[in-house]
Chain A
Amino acid sequence: MTDLLVKRRTLIAGGAGLLLAGCDKVAQIPAARKILFSGEDIHYGLQRALQDRGALAPEYRPDQMSPIFRANGTRNPATPSYDAMVANRFADYRLAVDGLVDRPLSLGIAQLAAMPARTQITRHDCVEGWSAIGQWQGPMLGTVLKAAGVRRSARYVVFTCADLYNGEPYYESIDTIDAFHPQTILALKMNGAPLEVAHGAPVRLRVERQLGYKHAKYVMGVKAVASLEGIGKGKGGYWEDNVDYDWYAGI
């Protein structure tokens, strides 16, 4: 009896092991991989259907802020051109706004700071699982895009950054729904002070209904496009193109 039980238990454990290994094999079959990756489109569709277009991410009180806000990803681009910008306190910094716009712009920090700003205390959720709450301030991305006369044909907004990954600038993208969301801002300040280098100085995107890797740091360029084809490998971002992360990171 006990022998039989041990055998049965081994069988169940062995079966589970085979199944686990089977998952890796399945993920290598192109058709199965397509199904596996379709989860993202389903979540994207469901969330956009359940969310009001302007539904706000939760905002918090000052006493709910993280005592220390963890810096993640690139903590310092440390390229010669970035170091030069840091050295003269971003006086030469210019944000390029182009693509499907009527009036391409080149904006300095003073011009960005002169635009109506939004201040928000929000939660930053890393794809790894941790969260930190901080205060962010800066012009709404929608204001900047309207100032540039963004065209109706634009469907996505692509951000290029000063930090390099494999020698190429980091890039990310969002759809126009998130681009015109009131909480989507080009943050110039964090917790009341100009952005630190570790947190993306001088400009960091905040796109509060998505995970941390969408919040591009060291933003140098904002480009309105009709399609993500031709941007990197076509999936809309560095992590999406190179390590299979979801482009829609609302979950």
Chain B
Amino acid sequence: MDDSPPPSGTLIRRHALTTRIWHWINALAIFILIGSGLGISNAHPRLYWGPYGANFDYSWFQPPHFPAWLTIPGHYNLALSRRWHLLFALVLAFGMLAFMIVSLVNRHIQRDLRIRAGELKPSTLLHDIREHLAFRFHDPDHPGAYNILQKLAYVAVIFVLLPLVILTGLAISPGMDAAWPWLLDILGGRQSARSIHFLSMSGISLFIVVHLILVILAGVGNELRSMITGRWRVPADTADDTPSAEPAK
């Protein structure tokens, strides 16, 4: 990023091509994975902890029956839900692997997602929360940079929830349990893995809802263009902002 803040109204380069490609492939894959996953959940909507769990065993949570308009396919068909789910699981997992490697090499992770020590100070966090509540999402000095709440959300999804949903998905597979028995050791058994799979999916869904709301609030056109062409217009409100909201350094 430049040292002097770009004037409002100018277009800046925001997202690398690889980030944009990954974003849209992932958007499609996650959409299909959640829809087909809800269809699979309907086959046995009971979650357990430990290595085993069936109808006679204690279930800590019973997901609701997901209506047909939310599932893939749009009627109950476990075999087809599985076909969709298992094909796009490959897209998600290998896409994730490629994104991690590329983002380390092109320094996207180190440059844009790394959380600096000062950013986690309560005063900084509170300041950012107040700014969000006032619908001001960009630091006037670095409008193209991610703010700390954004970083925390992206880091949680990219480094915790997505890897967890992939690992737990693998642990549900009896073939992978034979190949990589350590999956069950670290996740506490197949039914625990299935529960954590569902919980990570819920976390990712929550992220998507917040993500979409914030895209709407920040301006759909500008955000959508920046994720398609990479070019993002510096909003007017950041430059005209009062200097009283001094970000803690």
Which A residues are within 8 Å of any B CB, using their own CB? 5, 8-9, 12, 16-17, 19-21, 23-24, 27, 35-40, 42-43, 47, 50-52, 55-58, 60, 64, 66-70, 123, 125-133, 208-211, 239, 243-246, 250-251
Q: Does B236 contact A (CB under 8 A)?
A: no
A interface footprint on B71-96 (CB within 8 Å = 1, 0 otherwise):
11110011110111011011000000
Cβ distance A125 to chain B, nearest Cβ, rounded Å:
5
Which B residues are within 8 Å of any A CB, using their own CB? 31-32, 35, 40-41, 43-44, 46, 51-57, 69-74, 77-80, 82-84, 86-87, 89-90, 172-181, 184, 190-191, 194, 212, 216-217, 220
Interface centre among B57, B84, B172, B178 (most CB of A within 10 A): B178
- Pair A50/B69 contact, Cβ less than 8 Å: no
Known: A8-B220, A39-B90. Is A24-B44 also a contact (CB below 8 A)? no
Known: A20-B69, A39-B83, A64-B51. Is A130-B212 also a contact (CB below 8 A)? no
- Pair B178/A123 contact, Cβ less than 8 Å: no
**Residue on B with the closest CB to A47?**
B175
Residues of A within 8 A of B72 (CB): 20, 23-24
CA distance A126 to B174 in the complex (A): 10
Residues of A within 8 A of B216 (CB): 5, 8-9, 12
- Pair A70/B56 contact, Cβ less than 8 Å: yes
CA distance A24 to B75 in the complex (A): 9
- Pair A130/B70 contact, Cβ less than 8 Å: no
Interface centre among A129, A246, A250 (most CB of B within 10 A): A129
**Residue on A with the closest CB to B198?**
A129
**Residue on A with the closest CB to B45?**
A129
Specify which of A42, A67, A123 is in contact with B190 (CB 8 Å cutoff): A123
- Pair B70/A20 contact, Cβ less than 8 Å: yes
Specify which of A12, A20, A51, A127 is in contact with B178 (CB 8 Å cutoff): A51
- Pair A39/B51 contact, Cβ less than 8 Å: no
Specify which of B32, B79, B176 is in contact with A23 (CB 8 Å cutoff): B32
Cβ distance A60 to chain B, nearest Cβ, rounded Å:
7
Residues of A within 8 A of B89 (CB): 39
CA distance A123 to B31 in the complex (A): 31
Cβ distance B77 to chain A, nearest Cβ, rounded Å:
8
CA distance A21 to B68 in the complex (A): 10
CA distance A132 to B190 in the complex (A): 10
